Amino acid sequence: MGIYLSAPKTEKASKDGENGMLRFGLSSMQGWRASMEDAGLQAATRTQKYEKICKTKLSIRTEVLCKSYPVEFASYFHYCRSLTFDQRPDYGYFRRLFRELFTSKG
């Protein structure tokens, strides 16, 4: 499945816009892995490449995408994918979820 890092990279940039919460979660996952399934995807522009990466990861079931990751990532994606368009996310829940994870993992 790939090489895993001993500690997550915590400095990341995530693009806002459509599926912003999912994109944030996907970019956060990259901090835990040295390489990803979408490594090597080619596109004419950086925006097109990010769209391909997002499309690839959104097509993968949460259980498969989060296999071997801390359970908090699966919880995050299940929550995000369950929201309807007009629902406001519980950002406090996200902060608690990942603060506890990062505190326990160092």
SS3 68: coil
Is residue 1 predicted with pLDDT exceeding 90? Answer: no
Residue 38 lies in a domain: yes
pLDDT value at residue 96: 94
Residue 13 lies in a domain: no
d(CA 90, CA 40): 34
**pLDDT tens per residue, range 2-56:** 565 666 665 545 444 445 677 677 666 666 665 666 667 888 998 898 888 778 8
Letter string b/e over residues 8-18, b meaning 16 or more CB atoms within 10 A of that residue's CB: beeeeebeeee
Residue 42 lies in a domain: yes
pTM for this prediction: 0.57
Residue 60 lies in a domain: yes
SS3 4: strand
Residue 7 lies in a domain: no
pLDDT value at residue 15: 46
Residue 2 lies in a domain: no
Residue 85 lies in a domain: yes
The mean-pLDDT minimum among 16-25, 70-79, 94-103 falls in: 16-25
Domain residues for the domain of 68 are 20-105
CATH value at residue 79: 1.10.510.10
pLDDT value at residue 42: 85
H-only helix segments in the chain:
20-29, 46-58, 62-65, 71-82, 91-105
Retrieve residue 6's tokens: 């001993």
Residue 15 lies in a domain: no
pLDDT value at residue 75: 94
Is residue 92 predicted with pLDDT exceeding 90? Answer: yes
